[in-house]
Amino acid sequence: MKLTRAMIITLILAMALGLVGCTSVNPPAAPTPTPMPAPLPSPTQEKPKENLITDLAYIKAGGGHYTDDADPEPEGVRINISWWDTKSEMIIFRNIPISVNVELYQRGFDMKAGEYLLGRCIYKGQARIDSALGAIRIPFEDIDATHIQGYHHDTLAKLSIHTPEQGDYSIEGIIAADFGFSED
């Protein structure tokens, strides 16, 4: 096969153009991205309540004595309040103002009847706590023990608890606080 002059020139030009295209200084421009549309405004979400004890289902109370010094003699009664969710797991919170109305009642055991008897109110007052770990402390001096009759077995605490968001709760709990008073 005989190459003609025109065919040789065409081959040289094709090769030259191919090489020029491969060594281009400016690469082809990338496609311009399409801007994303602005996000749609979300529906108004309810602001989380700051004083909400999350998933509060029920409250329990109990307690005993407390002491403030190295002396082992107790100085008063301590009431512990525990907070529980719907899974019966303890809730821990802080910085939520809780007001509590406290009533303490003498409670004794009648051996003849075989039952506990609720005596008279020996303390009535108010307290404030702001965390799940807060305890209410009532000094013995504030408890009216002058008319306790017979052996004082333990104390029944009746609590009215006000939470800022969930409302009011009324609970009772036994406080293992034996005052040891007996009749003269």
Reading the block at residue 42, the tokens are: 């979300």
User: Comparing 125-129, 139-143, 169-173, 175-179, which segment has the lowest mean pLDDT?
Assistant: 175-179
Residue type, 110: D
User: Comparing 1-10, 52-61, 78-87, 125-134, which segment has the lowest mean pLDDT?
Assistant: 1-10
Residue 174: what pLDDT?
A: 87
User: Comparing 48-52, 57-61, 84-88, 165-169, which segment has the lowest mean pLDDT?
Assistant: 48-52
**Highest mean pLDDT: which of 5-9, 35-39, 60-64?**
60-64
Reading the block at residue 66, the tokens are: 């407390």
Q: In what order do the strands lie in the sheet with 76-85?
A: 115-131, 94-110, 154-163, 167-175, 56-66, 76-85, 135-139
Q: Is 135 helix (H, G, I), strand (E, B) or coil?
A: strand
* 42 in a structural domain: no
* 75 in a structural domain: yes
* 131 in a structural domain: yes
Residue 81 has pLDDT above 50, yes or no: yes
Q: Is 37 helix (H, G, I), strand (E, B) or coil?
A: coil
Who wins on pLDDT, 172 or 3? Answer: 172
Average pLDDT over residues 99-109: 90
* 82 in a structural domain: yes
* 137 in a structural domain: yes
Per the prediction, the chain carries an average pLDDT of 78
Residue 152 has pLDDT above 80, yes or no: no
pLDDT band at 135 (very low <50, low <70, confident <90, very high): very high
- Quote the radius of gyration of the chain (alpha carbons, Å): 40
User: Comparing 6-20, 31-45, 81-95, 134-148, which segment has the lowest mean pLDDT?
Assistant: 31-45
Residue 13 has pLDDT above 90, yes or no: no
For the chain, the domain total comes to 1
Residue 156 has pLDDT above 50, yes or no: yes
* 43 in a structural domain: no
The domain containing residue 121 runs over which residues? 56-175
Among residues of the chain, what percentage have pLDDT more than 70? 66
* 124 in a structural domain: yes
* 7 in a structural domain: no
CATH number at residue 107: 2.60.40
